[in-house]
C-alpha cells in the first residue's frame, strides 16, 4: 500500500491521532481558535492518557501538595480530559517565563519547566476561550481545586525543594553563625534553624491581620537577610496558601470559593457562572469526598490512585523531624496559629486545629 504525504500527516496529527475532520466541515473563528489552543495542550501534556477534543474539559487547578497528581490520574483513567496546573494567573506565568529565560540551560529547564510553562499559557487561553464563548460541544469548563491546612502543607512542599536549596541554605547558615566557608555542616541543625527563622518571622509579623501582616513578613525578611533571599523565598512558600485562591481562582474565574459557608462546615462547595463550574474540596476530607468529585465530573464512580506521595521521597523524614521540633516550641505554635487563623484558614475551618 502506498502512503501519500497527506495520509501520513493525518496519521501523525498531534491531536492524539484522531480521525480527520470531514472535508465539508465549516469552522468559524471560535472553532479554529479552540483547535489551535488544543494542539498546544496536546503537545505540552503527558501523553500517557489519550485526549479527545470533543469530551468535556476539566482543569485540576490546585496550589500543590493537595493530591492534584492523584486526582488528575484518576480522572484521565476514566476518560476525562483532565489538565493539571498549580498556577494560571498572568503574574505567576510571567514569573515562570523569567525562570525559563534566566536559568542555566539544563535538561529540567528545557524539558519539564518549558513544557509546563507552555501548558499553563495554553490552559489560560482555554479558560479565556470558555469565558468568551461559554461552551464547547455543549459543555462548560470544569475546574477542581482543593484547600489544605498550611501547617501540614509547608513541610510537604519543602521536601521537593530541599535538595535544590542545600547550597543556599548552607551559605545562609554559615553567615548566620559566622562559620568559615569550608566549615563542616550538620544538615539536621541547618534545616531546623532555617525553618525556625521563617516561623519566627511569621509569628512576629502576624499575617492573620491580612495584607498588612503579609507585607510586614516580607519586609522583615528582607531587612534581616538582604544578602540571603532563601529566607524570603521560603517565607513565600509558607504563606502561599493564604493568597492563592484570590489570585488563581477569584481573579481568573470571578468566583470566590472561600466565601462558601458550606466549605467550612462540610468540606466541599460548588459555584458556577455562565461558562465555568468549580468544585473546591478540603484535602483532609478527600477520601470521603471522592463520590462528590465523581458526581461533579459526571462519573458514576471514581478511584484515586496513590501518586507522588511525599512521605516516601528522599529527605522526607529529615524535614518532618525538623518541622515537628520547631512546632513544639512556643514560636512554632504561634506561627501555626497565625496560619490557621488567617482569613484563608478560617474560611476552610482550619482555625479549629489551632
pLDDT at 310 (0 to 100): 67
pLDDT at 7 (0 to 100): 42
DSSP-assigned letter for residue 18: P
**Which among 92, 46, 93 has a CA at the least distance from the CA of 72?**
46
C-alpha cell at 212: 498588612
pLDDT at 2 (0 to 100): 46
pLDDT tens digit sequence for 247-295: 999 999 999 999 999 999 999 999 999 999 999 999 999 999 999 999 9
Contact call for residues 120 and 37 (beta carbons, < 8 A)? no
Domain locations along the chain: 5-148+256-296, 150-242+310-353
**β partners of residue 58:** 82, 142
pLDDT at 31 (0 to 100): 94
pLDDT at 25 (0 to 100): 47
Q: What angle do CA 48, 73, 46 make, to 5 degrees?
A: 30
pLDDT tens digit sequence for 77-131: 999 999 999 999 999 999 999 999 999 999 989 888 999 999 999 999 999 999 9
Contact call for residues 182 and 174 (beta carbons, < 8 A)? no
pLDDT tens digit sequence for 319-331: 999 999 999 999 9
Amino acid at each position: 500500500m502506498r502512503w501519500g504525504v497527506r495520509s501520513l500527516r493525518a496519521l501523525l496529527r498531534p491531536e492524539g491521532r484522531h480521525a480527520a475532520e470531514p472535508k465539508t466541515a465549516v469552522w468559524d473563528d471560535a472553532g479554529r481558535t479552540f483547535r489551535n489552543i488544543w494542539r498546544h495542550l496536546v503537545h505540552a501534556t503527558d501523553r500517557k492518557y489519550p485526549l479527545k477534543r470533543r469530551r468535556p474539559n476539566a482543569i485540576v487547578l490546585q496550589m500543590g501538595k493537595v493530591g492534584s497528581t492523584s486526582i488528575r490520574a484518576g480522572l484521565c483513567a476514566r476518560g476525562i480530559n483532565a489538565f493539571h496546573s498549580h498556577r494560571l494567573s498572568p503574574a505567576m506565568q510571567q514569573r515562570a517565563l523569567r525562570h525559563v529565560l534566566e536559568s542555566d540551560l539544563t535538561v529540567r529547564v528545557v524539558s519539564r519547566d518549558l513544557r509546563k510553562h507552555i501548558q499553563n499559557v495554553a490552559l489560560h487561553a482555554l479558560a479565556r476561550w470558555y469565558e468568551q464563548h461559554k461552551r464547547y460541544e455543549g459543555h462548560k469548563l470544569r475546574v477542581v481545586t482543593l484547600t489544605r491546612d498550611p501547617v501540614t502543607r509547608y513541610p510537604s512542599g519543602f521536601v521537593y525543594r530541599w535538595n535544590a536549596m542545600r547550597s543556599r541554605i548552607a551559605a545562609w547558615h554559615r553567615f548566620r553563625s559566622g562559620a568559615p566557608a569550608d566549615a563542616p555542616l550538620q544538615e539536621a541543625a541547618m534545616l531546623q534553624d532555617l525553618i525556625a527563622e521563617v516561623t519566627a518571622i511569621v509569628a512576629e509579623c502576624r499575617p492573620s491581620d491580612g495584607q498588612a501582616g503579609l507585607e510586614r513578613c516580607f519586609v522583615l525578611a528582607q531587612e534581616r537577610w538582604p544578602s540571603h533571599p532563601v529566607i524570603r523565598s521560603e517565607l513565600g512558600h509558607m504563606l502561599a496558601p493564604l493568597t492563592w485562591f484570590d489570585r488563581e481562582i477569584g481573579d481568573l474565574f470571578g468566583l470566590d470559593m472561600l466565601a462558601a459557608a458550606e466549605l467550612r462546615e462540610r468540606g466541599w462547595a460548588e459555584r458556577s457562572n455562565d461558562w465555568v463550574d468549580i468544585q473546591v474540596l478540603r484535602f483532609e476530607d478527600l477520601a470521603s469526598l471522592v463520590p462528590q468529585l465523581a458526581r461533579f465530573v459526571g462519573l458514576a464512580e471514581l478511584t484515586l490512585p496513590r501518586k507522588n506521595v511525599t512521605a516516601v521521597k528522599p529527605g522526607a523524614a529529615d524535614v518532618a523531624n525538623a518541622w515537628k521540633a520547631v512546632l513544639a516550641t512556643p514560636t512554632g505554635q504561634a506561627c501555626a496559629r497565625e496560619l490557621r487563623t488567617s482569613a484563608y484558614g478560617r474560611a476552610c475551618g482550619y482555625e479549629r486545629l489551632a
